[in-house]
Amino acid sequence: MVSRRFFIFSGIAAAGGLAIGYALMPLTTLGRARKIAGKDGATMVTAWVRIGTDNSVTVIVPHSEMGQGVHTSLPMMLAEELDADWSLVRMEQAPADKAFANAALAQGFLRGDKTIPSVLAGTADFSFRKIAEVINLQVTGGSTSVRFTGVEGMRRTGAAARAMLIKAAATSWGVPEAEVIAKQSKLSHASGKTATYGEMAAIAASFDAPADVPLKAKKDYTIVGKPIARFDIPPKVDGTAVYGLDLRLPNLSFAVVAASPVFGGTLKSVDAAPAKAMRGVKQVVKLADAVAVVADNTWRAKEALLALKPVWDDGPNATISSQSIFAAMDAALDAGKFKTDHSTGDADAVLKGAKKIIEATYCVPYLAHATMETVNCTAHFENDKLTVWGGFQDGLGARAAAAKFAGISIDDVSLHHTAMGGGFGRRGSTLNYLKHAIGVARQVQGPVQVVFTREEDMTQDNYRHASVSRMKAALDEKGKVTAWLHQFTEKFDPPEATMVNYDFANQASRYVKGLNPIPWGPWRSVDHTQMGFFIETFVDELAYAAGQDPFAFRRAHLGGAPRHKAVLELAAAMAGWETKPAQGRARGIAIRDAFGTIVAQVAEVSLNADGRVRVHQVWSAVDPGEVINPATFVAQIQGGAIYGLTAALYGEITIDKGRVVQRNFPDYEMVRMADAPQHEVRFIESGARTGGAGEPGTAPIAAAVGNALFALTGKRIRELPFKNFDLNTGNRRS
């Protein structure tokens, strides 16, 4: 009998062999979910593994691959505990079905695990009340895949399967289980008996999955911690990977869509005739807030769309601009109707009596995701059933959203994952492309691929919000921070992004909300993107105000945070902080604790003649607790830093007359090869709870670069992007 506390189950796989997985069904009712929530420490296995009679091991992964490597790192975690021969391990992405919901997340959620980012609230209410909706959650985001599914699910599933295989061999051979050795997908006994996992799989499947199986000690790992080649790479070098835009189906039409350029606007009218007269155009589709041209290929649809002159009702947002938004933020900060973020001691009182007070205001603009593959979705209505294909960070959530958009039951929606040309939050919770695709498909015979051009993608995104922070701190005569006051606009996620790990006495953090009139979405590292810049730049200012070295000042305030201190010291050592950089160069340092991983970065910069920064080298020291696949992790830290560096140097979405001004890469520039610094990454595996990989590298980079610029020029730039300033003079470019 399966223990009530555990929901591992087993059975015969369709093609023979062992299938082991988890049952989420008890979570489908609220009452049952509450019962589960009451059992602290209960374990739900969140992944399936199939062991074939051919001895192959197929790990079914309920997360999306965006290049962050989870389609490999999660199987690694399972295979490690299974003691599988890695060469026999395969990967399959789980279907968008509630049987493959992120049960580990749900589990953590039900336990009240505060480390689950609320940004995952794509389709679930992560105020954590609508538990029923958690079953429609299959999110890849918040750097959670390894942290939750891996740690809570993959490891336990692998260990349970291993125990069942051992029991099968022991029973067949008439020997004690303790004498059976499981290694490299083979079972053996001192008597000379051997069998493959595949040979024992069917017998193993007749047993119930054990509830409590000990996990391996790290010292016994043979797969985890090794640089393992990713499963998803071979089809990405020969053109065979099928991204959403690459899907080709019989009778497929192509639609290019244009939504109201003003956020919240609607379509009044459009004369379809100019488009219909063009070659290959099949129809013009009107939606409430958009118009689309359907044609026999993408380019003809795109060209015909340009021939249309849709008339829009701009709605209430036609007058908003970046200036008006920032003015409203300043006014709200002046008005001072704050919500408390966190507070210790009495920062206000200490500031009142303090002799040395430092103040600064920082701001950042909106940012678009600009995934390399523009958002798109292929949809097909047939007999009131809907099929959608595309790249989704939350397949099950997207399926639920599709049902909602189409006004049909989720059971009548099938969703097929394609490869995803970048996610970064764009393909998570804000699914305007899915909505458009369904709206168009409703009016089209046969399947239709609904495409956003780059211009549409950039102007109809869900944006990292613009924000302003006002910082104030008091220093005593020894250079210790005695009060820290942070007042800022907007707060999304994760909640701890505004925390400092320094032992500052008397901290107050407060914010005003409701100042963001355009669509918001999670953007790689979410609130850490701006908070990393604000907090770590201000800490740098405090160091200089205290007359101390920025590294020494930080270290002196990390007495209560040994992991952070060790990471900071490693970054400084890697960079040779104590040595003088070459003539014309300077270094800056910053540290962040994001998604369970601590990253300290040192950046070394110089300026060219026209006052633009060149980042030559970055050194990152990283403590993620443990490293699953070091090759992937290094690439994630480096890539995360590039993403943050693009924002620091170039990233700026501005609003004028309710519209996004920037339309394509020429006016939303990216870091390219020539801009990309050398970047050395080293890890400290402290053994602390496993942290994320995809986002932490983004968080500190803007501050590290800005702090280096100050060290070089003595000019403090308090807003991003740096391209807006002549960095030699610190003056804003006109």
Partner 1 sequence: MVSMTVNGASHAVDVEEGMPLLWVLRDVLNLTGTKYGCGVAACGACTVLVDGVATRSCVFPAASAAGKTITTIEGLKTGGTLHRVQQAWVDAQAPQCGYCQSGQIMAAVALLTEKPKPTDAEIDAAMTNICRCGSYAQIRTAIHAAAKA
Point out which residues bind partner 1 (CB under 8 A).
66-68, 227, 229-230, 232-243, 245-246, 248, 254, 279, 297-300, 302, 370-374, 419-424, 453-454, 631-632, 635, 638-643, 664-666, 670-674, 676, 678-679
Residue closer to partner 1 (CB basis): 358 or 670: 670
Strand partners, 146: none
Q: Identify whether 721 is preceded by a cis peptide bond (ω within 30 of 0).
A: yes
* Cβ closest to partner 1, residue 67 vs residue 261: 67
**Comparison of 238 and 477: residue with beta carbon closer to partner 1:** 238
Phi, psi of 532 (to 5 degrees): -60, -45
Q: Tell whether omega for the bond before 117 is within 30 degrees of 0, i.e. cis.
A: no
> Please, what is the minimum distance in Å from the beta carbon of residue 582 to partner 1?
17
Q: How do beta strands 448-451 and 376-382 pair?
A: antiparallel
Nearer to partner 1, 65 or 314 (CB): 65
State in angstroms the smallest separation of the CB of 298 from partner 1. Answer: 5
Residue with tokens 């780059």: 454
- 270 to each of 266, 274, 290, 305, 402, how far by Cα in Å? 12, 10, 10, 11, 26
Q: Which is nearer to partner 1, 18 or 458 (CB)?
A: 458
What stretch of H or E contains 197? helix 197-204
Does residue 339 sit in helix, strand or coil? strand
| Nearest Cα residue to 82 out of 225, 260, 222 | 222
Nearer to partner 1, 203 or 631 (CB): 631
Smallest distance from partner 1 to CB 59, Å: 19
CB of residue 315 to partner 1, shortest distance in Å: 28
Q: Which helix (H) or strand (E) holds 19?
A: strand 18-22
Cross-strand pairs, 344:
507
In the bound state with partner 1, the residue whose beta carbon lies nearer, of 110 and 451, is 451
CB of 639 to partner 1, least distance (A): 3
Name the minimum Å distance from CB 374 to partner 1. 7
Q: How far is the CB of 411 from partner 1 (least distance, A)?
A: 31
d(CA 506, CA 522): 31
Inter-axis angle of helices 103-110 and 30-37, nearest 10: 70
User: Least distance from C-beta 669 to partner 1, angstroms?
Assistant: 9
Nearest to 92 by CA among 52, 58, 46, 140: 58
Nearer CB in complex with partner 1: 162/300: 300
The identity of residue 48, as a single letter, is: W
CB of 453 to partner 1, least distance (A): 6
Cβ closer to partner 1: 238 or 384? 238
Positive or negative, the CA dihedral 270, 276, 278, 283 is positive
Residue 645 CB, shortest distance to partner 1, in Å, is 8
At its nearest, how many Å lie between partner 1 and the CB of residue 280? 9
Report which of 137, 110, 115, 117 is spatially closest to residue 44, judged by C-alpha positions.
110
Distances (CA, A) of 151 to 59, 76, 154: 15, 11, 6
Smallest distance from partner 1 to CB 384, Å? 29
Tokens of 698: 């983004």
Q: Cα separation of 676 and 49, whole Å?
A: 40
Indicate the residue among 188 and 297 with the shorter CB distance to partner 1.
Answer: 297
Nearer to partner 1, 373 or 719 (CB): 373
590 sits in the region (left: phi over 0; alpha: psi -120 to 50; else beta) called beta
Nearest to 404 by CA among 431, 382, 423: 431
Strand partners, 386: 381, 413
The label of the residue with tokens 């929530």 reads 37
At 95 the three-state DSSP class reads: coil
Q: In this complex, which beta carbon is closest to partner 1, that of residue 240 or of residue 729?
A: 240
